[in-house]
């Protein structure tokens, strides 16, 4: 089945089964490798992208259910100039880095929805897992992004 999507501001037509997770469409059909596969079960958040600005775990989103504009880490900015990316760099948040594009996307969606989140809002929105345990630096980066 061919389906047209808007991804990072461009219309793209992909050929895939309707049930194919958006994650694999992004990675395998469109070559957008910044979105990562972790658990494939909606638990880890490594696959987080935005649909119409909201954080979505793309491993659980069938292609046929995608409606609206998809933004991946590649579409957040072309030169790491998005305020969340700048904060991540300043806080030196990543260790291995594998989960960080999902972390950044979760943070960017949270701040788009609420520019001045409370600590409780941050805890509720930032549920992505990091096996290196960089949660302290991630929280510092989130705070820098809020400033
Ligand atoms: Fe999607 Fe883990 S790969 S939540």
Whether the per-residue pLDDT at 12 is higher than 90: the answer is: yes
59 with 100, same domain?
no
Closest residue by Cα to residue 39 from 126, 143, 135, 131: 131
Q: Is the ipTM of this complex over 0.85?
A: yes
pLDDT at 127: 98
pLDDT at 51: 98
CA of 125 from ligand 1 middle (Å) equals: 15
Specify the pTM. Answer: 0.97
Question: Where are the alpha helices (H) located in the chain, listed in sequence order?
Answer: 22-24, 73-76, 83-91, 100-113, 119-125, 135-146
Counting ligand 1 atoms within 8 A of each CB, the residue from 21, 22, 35, 39 with the most, and so the one to mutate, is 39
Q: How confident is the model at residue 1 (pLDDT cuts 50, 70, 90)?
A: confident
Asked which of 76, 91, 114 is the last residue of a domain, the reply is: 76
Query: pLDDT tens digits, residue range 66-107?
Result: 999 999 999 999 899 999 999 999 999 999 999 999 999 999
Is 128:140 a contact under the CB 8 Å cutoff?
A: no
Counting ligand 1 atoms within 8 A of each CB, the residue from 43, 72, 126 with the most, and so the one to mutate, is 43
50 with 90, same domain?
no
Atom index in ligand 1 nearest the CA of residue 38 equals 3
98 with 119, same domain?
yes
Query: pLDDT tens digits, residue range 24-58?
Result: 999 999 999 999 999 999 999 999 999 999 999 99
pLDDT at 49: 98
């Amino acid at each position: 089945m061919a389906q047209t999507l808007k991804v990072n501001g461009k219309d793209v037509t992909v050929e895939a089964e309707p049930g194919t997770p958006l994650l694999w469409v992004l990675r395998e059909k469109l070559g957008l490798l910044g979105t990562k596969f972790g658990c494939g079960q909606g638990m880890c958040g490594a696959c987080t992208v935005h649909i119409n600005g909201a954080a979505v775990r793309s491993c659980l989103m069938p292609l046929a259910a995608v409606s609206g504009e998809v933004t991946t880490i590649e579409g957040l900015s072309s030169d790491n100039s998005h305020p969340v990316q700048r904060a991540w760099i300043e806080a030196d948040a990543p260790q291995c880095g594998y989960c960080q594009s999902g972390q950044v996307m979760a943070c960017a969606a949270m701040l788009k929805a609420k520019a001045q989140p409370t600590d409780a809002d941050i805890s509720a929105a930032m549920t992505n897992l990091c096996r290196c345990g960089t949660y302290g630096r991630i929280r510092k980066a989130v705070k820098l992004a809020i400033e």
